[in-house]
A and B are shown apart, each in its own frame.
Chain A
Amino acid sequence: MKSFVSVVAVAAAALLASTSVHAADVEVVHWWTSGGEQAAVSVFAQEFDATGDHWVDGAIALGETARATIMQRALGGDPPDAAQFNPGRQYEELIAAGLLLDLTPLAEKEGWDKIIRPDSLKAPCQIDGKWWCVPVNLHLQNWAWASIPAFTKAGLEVPTDWDTYLADLPKLKEAGVIPFAVGGDGGGWQISLLANQLILSQLGAASVEKIWKDKDLDLAGGPEVLKAFTTLKTLGEYADDGSPNRSWADTASLVIKGDAALQVMGDWAQGEFQVAGQKPGVDYACLLGPLSPDPQNVRGGGDIFVFFKQGDPDVERAQLSLASLMLSPAVQAKFNTAKGSAPVRDDVDMSLANDCMKKALTVLAKPGALVPDQNIWRNEAFATAQNAIFSDLIYNKATTPESAQAQFVELLKNAE
Chain B
Amino acid sequence: MTTITASERALSEGQLKSRANRRRLLSKLPAIIGTIPMMIVAIGVFVIGIGFTIVLSFTNVKFFLINIDFVGLKQYDILWSTARWVESVKHIWFYGFGHIALCLVGGFLLAVFMDQRIKAEDAFRTIFLYPFALSAVITGLVWQLMLDPIWGLQAYVRSLGFSDFTFAPLADGNTALLGMIVASSWNGVGVTMAILLAGLRGVDEEIWKAARIDGIPTWRTYISIVIPMMRGAVATALVLLVVNVVRTFDIVIAMTGGGPGISTQMPATYVIDSINSRNVGQGMAAATIMLLPIAMLILIQFFFRWRASLKGRTT
- Chain A residues at the B interface, C-beta cutoff of 8 Å: 64, 67-68, 71, 75, 93, 96-97, 184-188, 240-245, 379-381, 383-385, 388-389, 391-399, 403, 407, 410-411, 414, 416
Contact = CB atoms under 8 A, between A and B. Distances in A.
Interface in B31-62: 60, 62
Interface of B: 60, 62-64, 66-67, 78, 81-84, 87, 148-150, 168, 170-174, 256-263, 265, 273-274, 276-279, 282
Contacts of A240: 149
9 contacts: A67-B276, A71-B278, A187-B273, A242-B150, A244-B257, A245-B259, A391-B259, A391-B260, A392-B84
B163 to A, nearest CB: 11
Contacts of B260: 184, 243-245, 391, 395-396
A188 B259 contact: yes
Main secondary structure of the interface of A (DSSP, over half): helix
Contacts of B263: 392, 395-396
A244 B261 contact: yes
Contacts, number: 114
Given A96-B64, A96-B66, A187-B258, A244 B171 contact: yes
A241 to B, nearest CB: 4
B265 A388 contact: yes
Given A75-B63, A93-B63, A392 B170 contact: no
B276 A395 contact: no
Given A393-B261, A398-B173, A398-B174, 15 more contacts: A186-B257, A241-B171, A242-B150, A242-B171, A245-B259, A381-B279, A384-B274, A384-B276, A384-B277, A391-B261, A392-B262, A394-B261, A395-B260, A396-B260, A414-B78
A384 B269 CA distance: 12
Contacts of A388: 83-84, 261-262, 265
B260 to A, nearest CB: 3
B75 to A, nearest CB: 10
Q: Closest 7 interchain pairs by CB?
A: A395-B261, A395-B260, A381-B279, A244-B260, A68-B276, A241-B171, A384-B277
A408 to B, nearest CB: 10
A384 B278 CA distance: 10
Contacts of A392: 83-84, 87, 261-263
A274 to B, nearest CB: 25
A393 B262 CA distance: 9
Given A187-B273, A241-B171, A244-B171, A75 B150 contact: no
Given A93-B62, A184-B259, A243 B171 contact: yes
B273 A245 contact: no
Contacts of A68: 276-277
A323 to B, nearest CB: 24
